[in-house]
Each structure stands twice: as structure tokens, then as C-alpha cells.
Amino acid sequence: MILIAGPCVIESAELLDAVAERLVAINRRLGTEIIFKASFDKANRTSIASFRGPGLEKGLQMLADVREKWGLKLLTDIHESWQAAPVGEVVDVIQIPAFLCRQTDLVVAAAKTGRTVNIKKAQFLSGVDMRYPYEKACEAGAREVWLTERGNSFGYNNLVVDFRNIPDMLQIAPTVIMDCTHSVQRPGAAGGKTGGNREFVPAMARAAKAFGATGYFFEVHPDPDRGLSDAANMLALDDLEPLIESLL
């Protein structure tokens, strides 16, 4: 089982340490290997006034510090092709954001780093449609490609998960991950920022397991309501371990 967890965005070194310390403890108790996730730049925020993160150079150094101090594997996302090479020098998994999964140059640049590439399914695509981003990455030389389900647009300001996408994507890739927190978003529905319903996160994870998901993605925060990005749908850090235990 692949497990990915961490704060939506790099807010501070103190936050990264607090989350990393807890993930290490969970790994020790449950025998898991959670991959640490945080974004150095949230380039797709709803409002220009929204917090984006420390940027590439400082953010990568902070992620490298997490690896050195806590020994965790790392995942982060990129939004532009030129970011792939420097990011690939630091992290184990490069993530392609859902909105950008059809951007050929971005997918190809990530693949050429030799790192695992995690492609999130766009809110406007079906699971079957993810064959084409997957093929782009493979043909560009990616060593390993994961696909991630994160819901589909359902009218305005809402998402719905069609769990049939998971077995459909398993026909394409051997690794299909359920993004249990972004799938409960309400995009742009909170007055210039994204809302969400974190109370549904555990159900999303368990339903995904029933449909054959091979991994789970959770954005977590010690105090989600005070988070600087995706506050409404991040899972409370204290709730992560019992949820993982139930999945195991």
C-alpha cells in the first residue's frame, strides 16, 4: 500500500517538522512507509491574494532538510516544465497537478528526470482518458508512473467521485492512488478560496479500497482550519493514524 501524507503547502519549517515527526512515529508503529508531501508553490490558487508558499529554491531546501532530519521519502508537485530538473534532484516522486495532466511538455519533463511520476486525473477527464497522459510519461522514459483519482467536476463549485475510475485506471497503470482529501473539495466555493468537507475523507478512503485502490493520498495539518491552503478539506493530523490503521 502506497501512502502519501503532508501539508498542502510549505508554511514553515516548524510545520514540516511537526508533520514529519508524526509520520515517522506512524511508520514505526504500523510498519508503513508514508511518503512526505508538501508543495513549494501553489500556483493554482483561487485568488491572487492567496498564500502560495516559499518558492522553488527555498522550498526544495526545506524539503531536503525533512529528508535529512527524518529520513522520509518526498513528493512534491510542479507547474512548469523547467521546474522538473531541480525538483528531480531532491524528491522521489514528482506530481503532475490535475489541471495540468494534459500538458505534454510538463509530463515529458517530469518523466525525463528518472523519478517516479504521479499524474493526478483532471476534474474533467474520465479514468479511461488517463491512458494518454500515462503513455506520454512512459514514452518519455519514466521509470514508474502512478495515476491518482481526485474526483470530477459536478456542476459549479462541487466535485463527485466516480469510483469506477479506479478499476478503469488499473487497466492502464499498476498503481492507482486515491486522493482522499482533494476529492472532498468544493472548488472556489468559499468566497475567493476553495471549500470542502473533510468529514467525508475516511469514507472516500474506504470506498476506494473496495474498488481496488493501491494507494492513498492525504493532506494533513495539526490544525487544519488554520492552514494556509486547502484548510477545509485537509485531515487533522491526529486523525491520520487511526484511518491508516483501518485501511491496513
- Give the phi and the psi of residue 92 in degrees, each rounded to 5: -90, -30
Cα-based angle 238, 241, 230 (whole degrees, multiple of 5): 55
Strand ranges (DSSP E) for the chain? 2-6, 35-37, 74-77, 93-96, 116-120, 145-149, 152-153, 159-160, 176-179, 185-186, 195-196, 215-221, 235-236
pLDDT digits (tens, 9 = 90+) for 158-193: 899 999 999 999 999 999 999 999 999 887 655 665
Pick the more confident residue, 192 or 1.
1
Class of domain 2-247: alpha beta
Instruction: Evaluate if residue 77 carries a pLDDT over 80.
Output: yes
* Mean of all residue pLDDT scores within the chain: 95
Q: Taking the domains of the chain in order of start, what are their residue ranges?
A: 2-247
C-alpha 148/C-alpha 37 separation (Å) is: 14
Amino acid letter at 248?
Answer: L
Residues 219, 243 contacting (CB under 8 angstroms) = no
% of the chain at pLDDT higher than 70: 97
Residue 205 has pLDDT above 90, yes or no: yes
Give the pLDDT of residue 193: 58
| Pairing mode, strands 159-160 and 152-153 | antiparallel
The C-alpha atoms of residue 42 and residue 95 are separated, in whole angstroms, by 13
In the chain, what percentage of residues exceed pLDDT 90? 86
Which residue's C-alpha cell is 467536476? 153
Q: Write down the pLDDT at residue 49.
A: 79
Read off the pLDDT of each residue in 119-130 and give the average, rounded to a whole number: 97
24-73 pLDDT, tens digit each: 999 999 999 999 999 999 888 777 878 889 999 999 999 999 999 999 99
Instruction: Provide the whole-model pTM.
Output: 0.94
